[in-house]
């Protein structure tokens, strides 16, 4: 007859931990016995249904994600506060340089203007649009001095949406962030999915404004968005 196992003292944590682990193991075995209750380790807490996946990939869903798409400002169309130094003017577009480059003949151009000029040349040998000197396209165009880029960045311009009511004036280097992030007058797509027109960013929350309203007093009809602009201008 075998002697009974000794009873562990109350403070022996090892035996209590072993018994708890044994209990967990037995419970996990009982869970595994039920195939319908198996858990996927590392899986998402709740996988989307096939209907939700189909809706997220639908054209209307993709269109919603681009409803507030904005166009960056065109540097060539900016209005400058004061006349620009002639040394900062492109000889092709006659506007302050945008992404300037230089040729070995020391003539400066906007990179895009130079590319357009070269596209128009029939010969494979490219020449300078100003002096007609031959250009080695394997090493030209060349980067411009940093001081030139700094002078261009510090030019003071108006917001492209000045005519719509924006009074922002600052250095040219900041105009992109202002138009794309902060300007309330930047045009965005109408929030109505069936409308292809645009509204100011500040009016986006008002819904579609592209419908005609009439005045009972003067019997005049006008579009709702134009009426909103007229109210703002009268207040200012």
Output the DSSP codes for 194-216: T---EEEGGGGGG----SEEE-T
Do 177 and 80 lie in a common domain?
A: yes
Do 84 and 175 belong to one domain? Answer: yes
Q: Which of 3-12, 15-24, 169-178, 182-191 shows the lowest per-residue confidence on average (mean pLDDT)?
A: 15-24
pLDDT band for position 49 (cuts 50, 70, 90): low
Q: What is the CATH number of the domain that holds 114?
A: 3.30.40.10
**Residue 78 contacts by C-beta under 8 Å, 6 or more apart in sequence?**
96, 157, 158, 160, 172, 175
Helix (H) or strand (E) holding 13: helix 13-32
Structure tokens at 43: 């899986």
Q: Which of 98, 101, 104 is nearest to 84 (CA)?
A: 98
Task: Check if the beta carbon of residue 199 is closer than 8 Å to that of residue 209.
Answer: yes
Q: Please report which confidence band the pLDDT of residue 186 belongs to, taking 50, 70 and 90 as the band edges.
A: confident
Whether 85 and 173 share a structural domain: yes
Average pLDDT over residues 154-164: 94
* Rounded CA separation 51/175 (Å): 43
Give the pLDDT band of residue 124 (cuts 50, 70, 90): confident
pLDDT tens by residue, 51-109 = 555 555 555 444 444 455 677 899 999 999 999 999 999 999 999 999 999 999 999 99
Residue 28: band (very low, low, confident or very high) from pLDDT cuts 50, 70, 90: very low
pLDDT at 202: 67
Q: Are 226 and 232 in contact (CB under 8 A)?
A: no
Total number of domains in the chain: 2
Residue 23 CA to residue 161 CA, distance in Å, equals 72
Domain identity same for 128 and 165: yes
Other CB atoms closer than 10 Å to residue 169's CB: what's the count? Answer: 13
The answer as to whether 33 is a domain residue is no
Mean pLDDT across 195-207: 63
Residue 215 lies in a domain: yes
Q: Which of 164, 162, 157, 182 is nearest to 75 (CA)?
A: 157
Domain presence at residue 225: yes
Encode 148-165: b = buried (16+ Cβ within 10 Å), e = exposed. beebbeebebbbbbeebe
The whole-angstrom separation of Cα 23 and Cα 28 is 9
Q: Is residue 57 part of a domain?
A: no
**189: β partners:** 198
Across 216-231, average pLDDT: 58
Q: Are strands 198-200 and 212-214 parallel, antiparallel or unpaired?
A: unpaired
Token digits of residue 145: 């001095």
Give me the domain span that covers residue 230. Answer: 187-235
CA dist., res. 140 & res. 126, Å (int): 10
Whether residue 79 is found in the same domain as residue 177: yes
* Domain identity same for 156 and 231: no
- Kindly state whether residues 160 and 212 are assigned to the same domain: no
pTM of the model: 0.57
Are the C-beta atoms of residues 108 and 144 closer than 8 Å to each other? yes
pLDDT at 133 over 80: yes
Q: Does one domain contain both 84 and 165? A: yes
pLDDT given for residue 145 in this prediction: 95
- Specify if 64 maps to a domain: no
In a domain, 135, yes or no: yes
Q: Are residues 151 and 194 in the same domain?
A: no
Band (118; pLDDT cuts 50, 70, 90): very high
């Amino acid at each position: 007859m075998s002697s009974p196992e000794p009873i562990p003292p109350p403070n022996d944590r090892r035996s209590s931990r072993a018994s708890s682990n044994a209990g967990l193991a037995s419970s996990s075995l009982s869970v595994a016995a039920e195939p319908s209750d198996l858990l996927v380790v590392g899986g998402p807490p709740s996988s989307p249904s096939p209907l939700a996946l189909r809706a997220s990939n639908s054209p209307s869903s993709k269109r919603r994600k681009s409803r507030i798409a904005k166009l960056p400002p065109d540097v060539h169309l900016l209005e400058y506060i004061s006349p620009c130094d002639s040394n900062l003017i492109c000889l092709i577009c006659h506007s302050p340089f945008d992404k300037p480059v230089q040729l070995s003949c020391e003539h400066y151009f906007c990179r895009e203007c130079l590319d357009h000029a070269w596209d128009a040349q029939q010969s494979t040998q490219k020449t300078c649009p100003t002096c007609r000197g031959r250009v080695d396209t394997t090493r030209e165009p060349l980067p411009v001095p940093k001081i030139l880029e700094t002078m261009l960045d510090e030019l003071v311009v108006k917001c492209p949406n000045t005519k719509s009511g924006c009074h922002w004036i600052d250095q040219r280097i900041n105009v992109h962030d202002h138009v794309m992030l902060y300007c309330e007058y930047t045009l965005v797509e109408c929030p109505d999915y069936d409308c292809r027109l645009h509204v100011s960013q500040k009016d986006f929350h008002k819904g579609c404004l592209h419908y005609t309203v009439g005045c009972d007093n003067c019997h005049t009809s006008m579009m709702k968005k134009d009426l909103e602009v007229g109210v703002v201008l009268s207040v200012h």
